[in-house]
Structure 1
Amino acid sequence: MLLISLMLALSVFLAACSGKDDKEDAGTKDTEKKDDKTEETEGDDPAEEEEELTFPLDVSNSEATIENGSLNYALVSDTPFEGTLNPVFYSGKPDADVMQFFDEALLATDGDYLITNEGAAQFEVSNENKTIAITIGDNVNWHDGEPVKASDLLYAYELLGHPDYTGDRYTYTIYNVEGMEAYHKGEADTISGIEISDDEKTITINYLEASPSLLSGIWTSPVPRHYLGDVTKGEVTHEDIVESEKIRTTPIGFGPYKVEKVVPGESVQYVRNEDYWRGKPALESIVLKVVTSASVLKELEAGKIDIATVPADQYLNAKELTNTELLAKVDLAYTYIGFKLGKWDEKAKENITDPESKLADKRVRQAMWHAMNNEVIGEKMYHGLRFPATTLIIPVFDSFHDAENPGRPYDPDKANELLDEAGFKDVDGDGIREDADGEPFVLNFASMEGGEVAEPIATHYMQNWEAVGIKVQLTDGRLHEFNSFYDMVEADDPKVDIYQGAWGTGSDPDPSGLYGRTASFNYSRYTSEENDRLLKEGTSEKAFDPEYRKGIYNEWQELMVEEVPVAPTVYRYATTLVNKRVANYSIDQSSDNFDPWVWGVTSEDPVVD
């Protein structure tokens, strides 16, 4: 579920996260990934309608931008942002939204989310795709004036692989580094596969295996060792860094804007980085503030904010505003229902599936997916801006999404058939099934608050399941705030049997960061040898052949539809409203105007509705 408000200009961060993570809320919460499609009237063919959907990706304002403009950016969220403003340690999308203006990765990415030589550093791959050399360009400096060094990128790897690291980003592209496993286990003080040049400009990373993820999921976000202190020398601990004001209220990066002031959880003021490596940023300042999903349209209408993602449940009103432009595209995200199947072993750092878990019988999970009417969710609650999901690789990854796999479409009869087959019968005639042992079967469902449709969606699914005889009740009898929700899900709280979440997938199609045996984000805790095999093959040297990789990922999608550790519910369109004074702005990853450093305004005062 990771912060449903997915990335807007965050592919750099997401790629840095090995292509997975960013937490988003599910339900429809603040940062919910707005999937926005266009309306479909009852009786229309959804597939046919989908093909006709067209939204602009760029603003139409072509006037010259003013020299000292200021832009107001909304972080649409019903809860405060956490404030862990460091790419190694943050976990939520809201924090990534904050970081996008002051920090970035060394390597840029193109429209296909592949690394390029257009960023602050250039790269060269060698040794049969097992080695990458990254050379930092000139005038790439931290905001305190210190140059960004190759050892700063090394420091990110040292933090991620450190035995004391408790974050979620020790994933394949990190532990595939030569010598990383020994370092991670505390058996070595250094990472043997990483070398630094004498001039601190070039870092060379050697990998155990060649993998296509090298080009789409490699970590290139450095960390300022001189500023935060050195964990490897015992100057600070990981906890010191996470709790430090140096990442919570006075963080530095090398991006286009500097952090001037942070009001924790509420707002951030940025000023132009005059020494930015690309040149002078277009805006003099940016103000980011948290705006609730309920008030975002009023703020836009009054011109108090210039850019905001828009909850899909407010789409009909959003498109009527006359002072903004509506941009939208299919998002790098999906919503899902997760089934708790085991626990996270903190000592072993891996997921342990429990064969005796309440939902161990996959037929029950299959039935619950068939029982969910996701088309109604998309059409009625999101005005057609979300559409039924079929597999766990999203349509944005056109080369790897299996469009021929139907998933488990809404089919109550099939759901009833599967439950009967599993031995779940209504023993006492009350309309609710008992389990295969004749014992009461009640599931606790965790879902997040936020937005107007969060509660109706949760109620809708509970009614769907009740219609096939499964009793489901909300955990603690209510929806939960974003942070407390994830506290429960991440901790495998026994009060949670199923949960509704959403993932921002990142720019790498490799799903191992979300569903691998050692992936802490694998909240269902599902594991199997076949899952291990397919995920490994999907990032193997043979997977440089796109057709081979496509075949492997088709097999993996089929496995997930069969095993159902999670049931994808809807894909989405991400929609953004932009004040008409904004110029040089795009939500298209391949556009030059995707980067915040070129965003500008053409007048001091915003256009008011």
Structure 2
Amino acid sequence: MAAFTRRLFLAAGSSLALAAALGLPASAAETVAETPKRGGTLTAILQPEPVTLTPANNTAQPTQFVAANIFDGLVTYDFDLKPQPSLATAWEVAPDGLTFTFHLRKGVKWHDGAPFTAADVKWSLENVWKTIHPRNKALFENVTSVDTPDDQTVILHLSKPSLPILAVINGVGAPILPKHLYDGTDILNNPVNNKPVGTGAFVFKEWKKGEYILLERNADYWDEGKPYLDRILFRVIPDAAARAAALEKGEAQYATFNPVPFRDVERLAALPNLKVDTRGYEWLSPLLYLDFNVDNPYFKDVRVRHAVAHALDREAIAKVVWFGFGKPAISPVPSTLRTFHDANVPRYPFDPKKAEELLDAAGFKRGADGVRFSITHDFLPYGDDYKRTGEYIKQALKRVGIEVNIRSQDTAAFIKRVYADRDFDLSSSYNGAFPDPQIGVVRAFWSGWLGTKTPWTNGSGYRNPQVDALIQSAAIEGDQNKRVEIFKRFQETVVGDLPTLPLLELRFFTIHAANLKGIVIQGDQTYGSVKNAWFDDAPKQN
């Protein structure tokens, strides 16, 4: 492992200071009130190309990146993940948690000129959120009826409380579709999906497959004076080197989700025309983790899972493998979820000697060749970062006598192998936790997902009736303080059982032009509109 870490450390060393400074305002000057200037085309990098432009049944990042500028939601989220008004100007939750009332903004129009009303929200909840949206079925399943006493009021009636609803109702989390264009149609195959009509700050104009997607300013937008930009041009640039060159040359001014390799970040951040920022991902709260196949003859023993945890230096993974763009995780509920995160969960500090003792105690002694047993590790094929993580794990576990074979494949094969066929020993991937653990965390531990072959749900095969009961009670608890206590018990149990080992709280980064102002102002920015962005000295039109 020494040669591996030394090589990466030399590449990463000077990037650590850069990463440590990220997440703060890009410059002191941006904290001073400035008068936005109008005009200009924002060229944003889109990779990979989306398969659809409507987020009703697709939660892939490229779809949401584009759609967030076309569709407004009921709310947006600040950096503390508190909901802020958007299409809903106010809302109330009844003390018993069984009624949600949303007061809608007046005078909002769909891009085709039709009025936006409560009927659109009711129809979307009943036909999209409760039925085809991948994350929302469970959150809205307790909604028994929706009243619309007038065009600006929506009242949800629930059989049981579901407080996480307030954490998913932005433009892509709970997309509102125009009822007059979808009602009575095949929603999944409606041609409007790829020529979307929303209420957002930008209007869809053109999609040239393999090249670009063009949006133009909504001149009739409800938020007076916005957007400041004339248009957004989303360019599809598959090659990482080409993305870096486009940013460096000013041909593109905005790119999200680690658009260039880590080795290029420090060089680009040092350029006067570019800035790097790690804010705007709080709503996603991504977490890198390992899933143990608990049906594996080795990993069914909790001592072996604990041994692996002690054998891995998460500080090294953060600093060396991920170039400082992450911090060691201790819980599946990341620290960005301040309300729910428990800092007192069981810990597994880096201790190879302890790992060896646990493996010996479990009956897996070293053989004559020094090997205790061999396993296969499948990593998420989203780029070199995940492959390097696999290489580190291979060498770290070899130190304690576990031989690891790294297996690579495309995304479809990875999903089938891990979540459908369960033909793996150890896998690594990442999940978004989102603002409430009920949305993005519990799916990795609830036994109800087993057998469904649903990606990124309980890959370990974990079954614990106590944990299932905690998950189910939290889902219908109407008192948030009680939910916090339930999730603390949940964290203590699953971190003790350790079917899934949290590795890092990832810090994705955004690169944008230095003269692009107002581009990162909210906690769901990378899934939100750029209506507040403007150029100080607007570039030439494309």
Structure 1 Cα separation of the partners of residues 400 and 472 of structure 2: 37
- Aligned with residue 458 of structure 1, among 370, 386, 390: 390
- Aligned with residue 536 of structure 1, among 472, 475, 493: 472
Map of 1:385 onto structure 2: 325
* Matching of residue 151 in structure 1 with residue 119 in structure 2: yes
- 1:287 Cα offset (Å): 0.9
Residues 64, 602 of structure 1: 8 Å contact kept: no
Residues 170 and 515 (structure 1 numbering): CA distance in 2 closer, same or farther, change over 3 Å? Answer: farther
- Aligned with residue 138 of structure 1, among 87, 94, 106: 106
Structure 1 Cα separation of the partners of residues 165 and 133 of structure 2: 21
Residues 493 and 91 (structure 1 numbering): CA distance in 2 closer, same or farther, change over 3 Å? Answer: farther
Map of 1:15 onto structure 2: none
Residues 390, 569 of structure 1: 8 Å contact kept: yes
Map of 1:282 onto structure 2: 228
> What CA deviation, in whole Å up to 9, does each residue of 1:83-134 have, x standing for no partner?
2333330131222112111112123334432334454453232363310122
* Matching of residue 324 in structure 1 with residue 274 in structure 2: yes
1:278-427 → structure 2 map (5 Å cutoff): 278-279=223-224, 280-291=226-237, 292-309=239-256, 310=258, 311-329=261-279, 331=282, 332-341=285-294, 359-405=299-345, 407-427=347-367
Map of 2:371 onto structure 1: 432
- 1:167 Cα offset (Å): 5.3
* Matching of residue 39 in structure 1 with residue 16 in structure 2: yes
Residues 583, 600 of structure 1: 8 Å contact kept: yes
Output the amino acid matched with 2:463: T
Residues 56 and 337 (structure 1 numbering): CA distance in 2 closer, same or farther, change over 3 Å? Answer: same
TM-score, normalisation: structure 1: 0.74
Most deviating of 291-300 and 59-68: 59-68
- 1:473 Cα offset (Å): 1.7
1:63-102 → structure 2 map (5 Å cutoff): 64-75=35-46, 77=47, 80-102=48-70
- 1:244 Cα offset (Å): 4.3
Q: Any unmatched runs of 5+ in structure 1?
A: 1-34, 42-48, 179-192, 342-354, 435-440
Map of 2:188 onto structure 1: 242
- 1:398 Cα offset (Å): 2.3
1:82-231 → structure 2 map (5 Å cutoff): 82-126=50-94, 128-160=96-128, 165=131, 168-178=134-144, 193-197=145-149, 199-217=150-168, 220-230=174-184
Q: Which has the higher contact order (CA 8 A, sep 6+)?
A: 1
Residues 37, 53 of structure 1: 8 Å contact kept: no
Residues 293, 450 of structure 1: 8 Å contact kept: no
Structure 1 Cα separation of the partners of residues 416 and 500 of structure 2: 19
- Aligned with residue 468 of structure 1, among 400, 408, 420: 400
Output the amino acid matched with 2:215: Y
> What CA deviation, in whole Å up to 9, does each residue of 1:37-93 have, x standing for no partner?
96269xxxxxxx97x876325784666544331111123x4xx33323333301312
> What CA deviation, in whole Å up to 9, does each residue of 1:133-189 have, x standing for no partner?
223222222222222232322333333476xx56522444212223xxxxxxxxxxx
Output the amino acid matched with 1:56: P
Residues 82 and 583 (structure 1 numbering): CA distance in 2 closer, same or farther, change over 3 Å? Answer: closer
SS class of match (1:417): helix
Residues 252, 258 of structure 1: 8 Å contact kept: yes
Residues 447, 458 of structure 1: 8 Å contact kept: no
Q: Any unmatched runs of 5+ in structure 2?
A: 1-11
> What CA deviation, in whole Å up to 9, does each residue of 1:438-483 have, x standing for no partner?
xxx43242331524x44332211112222222232233xx3x3445
Map of 1:56 onto structure 2: 25
SS class of match (1:205): strand
Structure 2 Cα separation of the partners of residues 533 and 413 of structure 1: 36
- Aligned with residue 515 of structure 1, among 445, 454, 470: 445
Map of 1:586 onto structure 2: 520
Structure 1 Cα separation of the partners of residues 301 and 112 of structure 2: 56
Output the amino acid matched with 1:370: H
Residues 464 and 392 (structure 1 numbering): CA distance in 2 closer, same or farther, change over 3 Å? Answer: same
* Matching of residue 567 in structure 1 with residue 501 in structure 2: yes
When the two chains are superposed, the root-mean-square deviation of aligned CA atoms in Å is 3.3
TM-score, normalisation: structure 2: 0.83
- Count of aligned pairs: 506
SS class of match (1:541): coil
1:254-273 → structure 2 map (5 Å cutoff): 254-264=199-209, 266-273=211-218
> What CA deviation, in whole Å up to 9, does each residue of 1:500-524 have, x standing for no partner?
1112222224333453344544242
Structure 1 Cα separation of the partners of residues 110 and 296 of structure 2: 52
Structure 2 Cα separation of the partners of residues 503 and 526 of structure 1: 17
Residues 211, 235 of structure 2: 8 Å contact kept: yes
SS class of match (2:240): coil
Residues 160, 174 of structure 1: 8 Å contact kept: no
SS class of match (2:387): helix
- 1:229 Cα offset (Å): 4.3
